[in-house]
Amino acid sequence: AEKKRIAVLPGDGIGPEIVDESVKVIKETGKQFGYDFECSFGMVGGGAIERLKNPLPEETLTLCRNSDAVLLGAVGGPRWDSNPPHLRPEKALLGLRQELGLFANLRPATLFPGLEKSSSLKPEVLEGVDLLVVRELTGGIYFGEKYTEETGEGARATDTLVYYEHEIERIVRRAFRLAKGRRRRITSVDKANVLESSRLWRRVVDRVSKDFPEVRVQHMLVDNCAMQIISRPADFDVIVTENMFGDILSDEAAMLTGSIGMLPSASLGKGPLGLYEPVHGSAPDLAGQGVANPIAAILSSAMMFRHSFHDEEAARAIESAVKKVLSSGARTTDIALAGSLALSTEEFGDRVCEALRRYGPDP
Ligand code: NAD
Ligand code: IPM
Ligand code: MN
C-alpha cells in the first residue's frame, strides 16, 4: 500500500464535526484504493489560541510541512471576534496559506442532480452549472500593508491592495491550464475601470492568453460578474480573480449548488503540498448540534486524491459516492426541503462510506 501522511486540522465550530466525516471517507477510500494513511491531528484557530495563545502554533506548521497533504475544517467564532489581529483564528488560515506558498485556490461549484430545488434560484437557470473559481490566495488586499492611526479628524484605517506581475502571472497560468482540461473558457474578473492593480491584472491575462490560443478569454468587471453568476451561471467555466473578489464570488456561487455546505476547495502552490478545506466557515450557529453538511469537507478530500495523490479514479469514486447518496434522497438540514426528514452529519458520512464500499473497485 502507498504510504501517505495527512495533517488533519479540525479547528473550531463545526470544523471537528465535518472533518471527522471527511477522515472516515479518506480511510474508506484508502482501503479500496490501496493507501496506508497516517493522519496526525494538529491545533489551529480558536482552540490553539486558548491552549497556546497562538492561532497557528509552530508545531502545527511543522506537522503540515512534513505531510503529503493538509485537511482543514474551519476556524473562527464569536468568542475571538474582538481579539487583536495576531490573536484571531482567521490569522491561522492566512498564515498557513502564506507559509506554505498556497497561491492557487480552486473552488469548484457543481450542481448535483436533485439539488436544484435546494437552491434559491430557478431550476431552469441552474441547468448545466459547472464552474470553477480560481482565486488568488496569497496576495492582494488580504496581505498588503494595513494599519490604523489617530488623526486630527479621528481614527483612520488603511488596507492596501498590491500585486506583483509575477504573482498575477502564476495564478493566471494555473487557471488557463485548468481551463484547457475543461470547457476551455476563462472569465477574468477585475475592477479595471477603477483599480490600478486590476489594469495590471488585465494586461497579464492578455499576455498569458497568447500561450493558450485554444482557450476563449473574456474580461468582466466584478460587479457585473456578481450579477451574471446568478443570471446565467451555466455560461461560466473557469473564473480567475484576485483574493477578495474570489472570496466573495465563491460564496455567491455556492448558492448555485444548493448550499454553502456543498463547496470544497483545494489550495495549491508550486510544490506538491496542498491544503484541502470547505469554502464555508465554522458556522457557530450550528456547532455542536451534529447537523452540519459534511459534503464540502468530503468533496475536499476527493480534491486531495486528485491534486495531491494524482489519483483521479479515487477522487471520482468519492464524488460518485456523494452523488449516489444524494440520489437516494438523503439530505442534511441545509439542503433538505421544508418538512422533509434530514440526516445528521455523522449519518450522512456513514452513507457515503457505505456507498464507497458498495461501488468501489474490487479488492
Ligand atoms: P459560515 O460559512 O460559517 O456560515 C454562513 C452560513 O452558512 C451560516 O448560516 C451557517 O450555518 C451556514 N453553513 C456554513 N457551513 C455549513 C455547513 N457545512 N452545513 C450547513 N450550513 C452551513 O460564515 P460566517 O457565519 O460568516 O462565519 C463564521 C465564522 O467562520 C467566522 O469566524 C469566520 O471568520 C469564519 N470563517 C472561516 C472560514 C474557514 O475556516 N475557512 C471560512 C469562512 C468563515
Ligand atoms: C475563506 C474565508 C477566509 C478568507 C477567512 C476566514 C480569512 O472566508 O476561506 O473563504 O477570507 O479567505
Ligand atoms: Mn470566504
The ranges assigned to domains in the chain are 1-103+264-363, 120-257
Asked if residue 133 has its Cβ within 6 Å of ligand 2, the reply is no
120-257 matches 1-103+264-363 in CATH topology: yes
Among 70, 90, 244, 277, say which to mutate for ligand 2: greatest number of ligand atoms within 8 Å of CB. 90
Interface ipTM: 0.99
Question: What per-residue confidence (pLDDT) applies to 362?
Answer: 55
Report the pLDDT averaged over residues 248-274.
98
Instruction: Tell me: pLDDT of 171 over 90.
Output: yes
Question: What per-residue confidence (pLDDT) applies to 342?
Answer: 97
C-alpha cell at 121: 434560484
Percent of the chain with pLDDT over 70: 99
Pick the CATH number of 120-257 from 3.40.50.150, 3.30.300.30, 3.40.140.10, 3.40.718.10: 3.40.718.10
| Exposed/middle/buried for residue 324 (C-beta within 10 Å: 0-12, 13-18, 19+) | middle
Question: What per-residue confidence (pLDDT) applies to 361?
Answer: 67
Cβ neighbours of residue 158 under 8 Å, at least 6 residues apart? 145, 146, 147, 148, 149
Strand positions, DSSP E, the chain? 2-11, 35-41, 69-74, 104-110, 130-136, 146-151, 154-159, 185-190, 216-221, 238-241, 264-268, 274-278
Question: What per-residue confidence (pLDDT) applies to 3?
Answer: 97
Asked if residue 311 has its Cβ within 6 Å of ligand 2, the reply is no
The pTM for the full model equals 0.98
- Closest residue to atom 26 of ligand 1, CA basis: 281
**339 falls in which pLDDT band (50, 70, 90)?**
confident
**CATH H-level, domain 1-103+264-363: superfamily:** Isopropylmalate Dehydrogenase (3.40.718.10)
